[in-house]
């Protein structure tokens, strides 16, 4: 069994472009200030495709090679963000920005997850990956239920909109302090 000392932590995501990410960060900062929920500020705004997973440090190069060799037949596409929603977990509620439903995004995630578990089958699929619900988190983990109950009536009707072109997705690694993009995988140009 691997210990945490010889494991790395990774996840795969679509990182939002800088200008839109800054708009999301402003929402996160507002929530941090008014509702004491700062955890979302610790990672760049993104849509998770493959939830964080530990992997032996000895498998790092294999993961990079797998990521580079991925066979993804999804062309570039656009994601539209509109409004807020929530996961109303009793102990750890989450507030997030909603992507408008997008079949290309759903296809990308399914292809990625299938190839991941084919290559790294020693890791069990999580339920959240089987029932993928894309989102851009603005408050989670340290958002207390009482703070959620105070914030949600405002955010349920609060406007938010933005769109961006998805022409790549990223592999990120945690360095024990923060997440860093370590590889990018480009999507095919629109045909």
Q: Is residue 1 predicted with pLDDT exceeding 60?
A: no
- Who has greater pLDDT, 1 or 119? 119
Task: Decide: 168 and 68 in contact? Cβ < 8 Å.
Answer: no
Give the relative orientation of helices 18-35 and 145-155 as an angle to the nearest 10 degrees.
130
Amino acid 100: pLDDT? 97
Structure tokens at 48: 């998770």
> Measuring CA to CA, which residue among 112, 113, 177, 136 is closest to residue 17?
136
Which pLDDT band, with edges at 50, 70 and 90, does 2 fall under? very low
Pairing of strands 161-166, 168-174: unpaired
What is the widest separation between alpha-carbon atoms in the chain?
49
SS (H, E, C) 122-159: CCCCCHHHHCCCCCEEEECCCCCHHHHHHHHHHHCCCC
pLDDT digits (tens, 9 = 90+) for 29-72: 999 999 999 999 999 999 999 999 999 999 999 999 999 999 99
Map residue 36 onto helix, strand or coil. coil
Amino acid 138: pLDDT? 97
Amino acid 125: pLDDT? 53
Contacts of residue 61, defined as CB under 8 A and 6 or more positions apart, other chains included, come to none
Q: Is residue 6 predicted with pLDDT exceeding 90?
A: no
Structure tokens at 124: 């069990």
Amino acid 189: pLDDT? 82
pLDDT digits (tens, 9 = 90+) for 164-184: 999 999 999 999 899 999 999
| Percent over 90 (pLDDT), the chain | 82
Amino acid 139: pLDDT? 96
| Cα Rg, the chain, nearest whole Å | 17
Q: Is residue 73 predicted with pLDDT exceeding 70?
A: yes
Distance from C-alpha of 97 to C-alpha of 118, rounded to nearest angstrom: 31
pLDDT digits (tens, 9 = 90+) for 108-156: 999 999 899 888 875 555 556 778 999 999 999 999 999 999 999 999 9
Question: CATH assignment of 4-186?
Answer: 3.90.1140.10
Residue 47 backbone phi and psi in degrees, to 5: -115, 120
> Measuring CA to CA, which residue among 77, 79, 73 is closest to residue 20?
79
């Amino acid at each position: 069994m691997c210990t945490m000392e010889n494991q790395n932590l990774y996840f795969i995501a679509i990182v939002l472009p800088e200008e839109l990410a800054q708009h999301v960060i402003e929402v996160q900062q507002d929530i941090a200030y008014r509702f004491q929920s700062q955890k979302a500020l610790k990672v760049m705004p993104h849509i998770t495709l493959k939830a964080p997973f530990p992997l032996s440090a000895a498998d790092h190069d294999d993961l990079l090679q797998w990521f580079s060799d991925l066979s993804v037949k999804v062309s570039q596409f656009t994601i539209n963000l509109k409004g807020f929603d929530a996961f109303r977990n009793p102990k750890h509620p989450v507030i997030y920005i909603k992507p408008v439903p997008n079949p290309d995004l759903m296809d990308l995630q399914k292809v990625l997850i299938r190839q991941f578990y084919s290559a790294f089958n020693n890791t069990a699929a999580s339920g959240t990956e089987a029932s993928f619900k894309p989102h851009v988190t603005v408050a989670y983990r340290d958002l207390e239920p009482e703070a959620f109950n105070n914030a949600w009536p405002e955010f349920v009707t609060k406007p938010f909109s933005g769109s961006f072109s998805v022409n790549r997705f990223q592999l990120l690694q945690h360095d024990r302090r923060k997440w860093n993009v370590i590889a990018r995988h480009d999507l095919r140009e629109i045909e």
